């Protein structure tokens, strides 16, 4: 790659990194505001207009708290836990296509994406499966029974739901025939019933999407599956011994995970950066196909972020509406409910593909 092209790539990666962190910061604000809205109370509204300065105030508070490490804790692993949680959370946004290409005369087509790899889906799956290490190491290094129980819960929960997650992805993979997230997004730009940009996978994989969504809640340790940190029984779960910014990193990593999972769900099932009537709108705004393509790309990025925000809102809505599962219910749902369902989904998808090829639909 040429140096200017590399520089553009670096800029895009930096921008994605920064935007992810910015959205995660404001997720902490949105979570409390939405909780307040759902429970008929104001929520944080004192710092700045509508409480928008609250995340900054929180960050200052967390940074100035005493850096406390318990005497019996394993010091290095105690620090490594939250760092690993944050690292794995930030790694996965690298392959998500945030937009289509920008066509320019000088540099050719610029992809709005960190890196384009042909195993994007496997990469996401791999990084998600590593996410549990931060929690496990932190929970064990605290040398506290409650932390250890939280860590063990996180591990068995993540492993159980990873299987159903992978199986629901396989159905999408069979349909699209590619592991590249960009390819999957581009395939959904086709017209459906004459509406361009509406060929979303959700219309073909509704069962797969519900399985994926449930597993996503479990993998990000969100209510109703937040057993690793259930405060009623485990004090604080895996982060009982944590304070100051190390606790902050754990909580922050959870929000980054939610953003990434929302982005992946939008890409896989909800058309990614495509939106209804995109070709017609492009043709209406500019007669030059190149300019029209660029306008559509920019609008697509906006639409993609709207989809992400919608999913984030859904995550928060569920958190403040549903009570927590019991642990045996959680494992029963995973092993006896979701895994057989996802296998049925694979069989149904395979049958549909065979039939459609046979009858030439």
Partner 1 sequence: MTGNLFYFLTFLTLFAALGVVFSKNPVYSVLCLILTFFTLSGHYILLNAQFVAAVNIIVYAGAIMVLFLFVIMFLNLNQETEETQHKSTLMKVAGVISGGLLLVIMIAVLKDAELGAVDTANFNSQIGLVENLGQLLFTKYLLPFELVSVLFLSAMVGAVMLGKKETQQRHF
- Note the residues at the interface with partner 1 (CB under 8 A): 77, 117-119, 122-123, 125-126, 129-130, 132-133, 136-137, 140, 148, 151-152, 155-156, 158-159, 162, 179
Q: What DSSP element (H or E) covers 13?
A: helix 3-38
Which residue, 155 or 343, has its beta carbon nearer to partner 1? 155
Q: How many CB atoms lie within 10 A of CB 196?
A: 19
Quote the CA–CA distance of 160 and 335 in Å, as a whole number. 7
Least spacing, CB of residue 212 vs partner 1, in Å: 16
Quote the CA–CA distance of 171 and 349 in Å, as a whole number. 6
Q: Which residue has the tokens 């790309």?
A: 297
Quote the CA–CA distance of 222 and 259 in Å, as a whole number. 13
Print burial letters for 209-234: b (CB count within 10 Å at least 16), e (below 16).
bbbbbbbbbbbbbbbbbbbbbbeeeb
Least spacing, CB of residue 126 vs partner 1, in Å: 4
Least spacing, CB of residue 119 vs partner 1, in Å: 5
Spatial CA neighbour of 247 closest among 51, 43, 69: 69
Tokens at 46, concatenated: 């004192």
Strand partners, 103: 109
Least spacing, CB of residue 96 vs partner 1, in Å: 16
Which residue, 110 or 181, has its beta carbon nearer to partner 1? 181
Tokens at 81, concatenated: 């836990």
Number of C-alpha atoms within 13 angstroms, CB side, residue 107? 15
Tokens at 99, concatenated: 């937009």
């Amino acid at each position: 790659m040429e140096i200017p092209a590399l520089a553009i790539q670096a800029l895009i990666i930096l921008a994605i990194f920064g935007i992810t962190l910015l959205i995660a910061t404001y997720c902490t604000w949105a979570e409390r505001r939405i909780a307040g809205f759902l429970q008929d109370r104001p929520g944080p509204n004192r710092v700045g207009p509508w409480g928008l300065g609250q995340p900054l105030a929180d960050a200052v508070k967390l940074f100035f708290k005493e850096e406390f490490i318990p005497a019996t804790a394993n010091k290095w692993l105690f620090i490594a836990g939250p760092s690993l949680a944050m690292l794995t959370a930030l790694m996965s946004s690298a392959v998500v296509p945030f937009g289509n290409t920008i066509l320019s005369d000088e540099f050719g087509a610029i992809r709005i994406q960190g890196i384009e790899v042909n195993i994007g889906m496997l990469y996401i799956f791999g990084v998600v499966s590593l996410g549990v290490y931060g929690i496990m190491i932190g929970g064990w290094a605290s040398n506290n029974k409650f932390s250890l129980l939280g860590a063990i819960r996180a591990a068995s929960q993540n492993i159980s739901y990873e299987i159903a997650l992978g199986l629901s992805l396989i159905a999408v993979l069979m349909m699209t025939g590619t592991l590249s997230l960009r390819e999957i997004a581009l395939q959904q730009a086709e017209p459906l019933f004459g509406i361009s940009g509406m060929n979303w996978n959700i219309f073909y994989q509704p069962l797969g999407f519900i399985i994926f969504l449930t597993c996503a809640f479990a993998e990000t340790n969100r209510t109703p599956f937040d057993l690793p940190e259930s405060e009623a029984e485990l004090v604080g779960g895996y982060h009982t011994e944590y304070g100051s910014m190390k606790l902050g990193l754990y909580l922050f990593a959870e929000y980054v995970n939610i953003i990434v999972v929302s982005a992946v769900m939008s890409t896989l099932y909800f058309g990614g950066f495509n939106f209804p009537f995109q070709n017609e709108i492009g043709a209406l705004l500019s007669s030059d196909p190149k300019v029209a393509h660029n306008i559509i790309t920019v609008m697509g990025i906006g639409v993609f972020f709207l989809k992400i925000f919608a999913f984030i809102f859904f995550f928060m809505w569920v958190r403040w509406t549903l009570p927590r599962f019991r642990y045996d219910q959680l494992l029963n749902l995973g092993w006896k409910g979701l895994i057989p369902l996802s296998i049925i989904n694979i069989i149904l998808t395979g049958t549909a593909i065979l039939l459609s090829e046979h009858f030439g639909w």
